[in-house]
Amino acid sequence: MADGPGFRTAIYCAGCLHHCKGCHNPQSWDMAGGHPVSVEDLLADIKSDEFSNVTFSGGDPFYQVEAFTNLARRIKEETTKTIWCWTGFTYEEILADKRLSMLLPYLDVLVDGPFILEQRDTTLLFRGSPNQRIIYLTPKEDDEIPGAVPLMPLR
């Protein structure tokens, strides 16, 4: 319930090279720190809860962008669930990189940018510092989230 609005199945991946000072989850930085799980198994877990939507977090899912794109594509093909994704990259950095941007068409909301300790604000919803944006990539998520950036057209 903390990883976006409502009930969500959250996938926490291993690996983050952003190394933000004050990161809430530094134990996730090690790129080899997790254990391999197949897209098929993750999809089965996600589909087993018919009410929950989906969150990708970590770590940074964009360091495993091919696998998360496969998973996100399957979620969109086989369910009506929405997907929120957290990343330390900015939306602009992702858009400028063909490989990273392959995941964007399957996401409903991107929460972007590194955590900046000096700007920490505990009143913000779903993010730690105000540089991080809640960016709606599809009109599917219509909950009113204070501070959210209105739809940013991608396609």
Tell me whether residue 59 or residue 82 sits nearer to ligand SF4 (CB atom): 59
Q: Is the peptide bond before 59 cis (omega within 30 degrees of 0)?
A: yes
Q: Pattern 45-84, binding to ligand SF4, x per CB under 6 A?
A: -------------xxx------------------------
Q: What is the CA radius of gyration of the chain?
A: 15
Rounded Cα distance, 132 and 124, in Å = 10
Report which of 52, 41, 42, 58 is spatially closest to residue 9, judged by C-alpha positions: 52
3-class SS at 14?
A: coil
Q: Is 114 in the site for ligand SF4 (CB under 6 A)?
A: yes
- Placement of tokens 């490989």 in the chain: 99
Count of residues binding ligand SF4 (CB under 6 A)?
13
Least distance from ligand SF4 to the Cβ atom of residue 60, Å: 5
Tell me whether residue 116 or residue 149 sits nearer to ligand SF4 (CB atom): 116
Tell me the pairing of strands 53-57 and 83-86.
parallel
In the list 3, 63, 88, 141, the residue contacting ligand SF4 (rule: CB under 6 A) is 88
Residues within the interface to ligand SF4 (CB under 6 A): 16, 18-20, 23, 25, 28, 58-60, 88, 114-115
